[in-house]
A = this chain, B = another copy of it.
Amino acid sequence: MSITKVGLVGLGLMGGSLSIALKKLPKTYYFLGLDHNTKHCNQALELGLVDEVVSSLEMLKECDIIFLSIPVDGIISVAQNLGTLPPQCTVIDLGSTKEKISASIPSEIRQNFVTAHPMTGTEKFGPHAAIDNLYKDKVVVLCDLEKSGKHQVEVAKSLFDAIGMQIVCMDAAEHDRHAAFISHMPHALSYALANSVMQQEASKSIIALAGGGFKDMSRIAKSSPKMWEDIFRQNKTNVLKAIHSFQAELKKCEKMVENEDWSALNEWMSDANKLHDIL
């Protein structure tokens, strides 16, 4: 039986959970891991997320598939430092932004790359954050596929399909506009909510009262600042547009409350209810 060699660059939540998902398939995989964090390398070995830890990108070039599950600025840096790759090697990045990544891949290896964004995650990070079924029944967006090799598109599609994901294709620019609204701006809100509450004089008494609504809204305020700094940097323009759009809606709410325009407020909330006819 042939063994598929998989390189995992970044041994955190996304990479680790991918290993768990792939190990459940009938195919046999051998995982080589690379992470600048030595503790994470050891934990990934202990947890059985990787079979072997390597110390350089060069040592991953014999892999059939290489996943880049690291912060988005790191993905660009790896893409630019990979050098040449065997024609059959497939590199799949899992970054939350796509336009700058897609454009930064050197032309000699552009065909090797498939740029993907699995719309899943938790606020946790590191190998111990890896969980079963993180990818199952979730959407993965594949971008700019016309720039990827035919073999690489087949490998990526069949792999994401095999782990139960729903594949959506679009161009990277469109992805980044959408992701700003559905993911990046909501993270900004969650961080802002957490900070606004913690700034209050009685913050501890306030937080002691937290119910499910607040816990849900502030959950992603626990996300990694390093990871999100990179995302906000790479998707600056779209993130600002999404923040402005949100601010305009909240301003409407503020004004209706201020002016005691209760029937308009009720209507505005009823409009928001409609989201759930779609979602």
Contact = CB atoms under 8 A, between A and B. Distances in A.
Interface of A: 119-122, 138-139, 141, 168, 170, 174, 177-179, 181-183, 186-200, 202-223, 225-226, 228-229, 232-233, 236, 239-240, 242-250, 252-254, 257-258, 260, 262, 265-276, 278-279
For this chain, the copies found in one complex come to: 2
Closest 4 CB pairs of A and B: A225-B269, A119-B211, A192-B249, A194-B272
A257 B236 contact: yes
A110 B202 CA distance: 29
Contact of A245 (B177, B181, B188, B200): B200
A69 to B, nearest CB: 15
Contacts of A182: 197, 206-207, 209-211, 214
Contacts of A232: 257, 262, 265
A91 B243 CA distance: 45
A221 B271 CA distance: 9
Contacts of A270: 225
Contacts of A228: 269
7 contacts: A181-B197, A189-B250, A196-B249, A215-B279, A217-B220, A244-B254, A247-B250
Contacts of A189: 189, 193, 217, 250
B246 A260 contact: no
A276 B222 contact: yes
A200 B275 CA distance: 12
A271 B279 CA distance: 32
- Residue with the highest number of chain B CB atoms closer than 10 Å, among A209, A236, A239, A242: A209
A201 B195 CA distance: 31
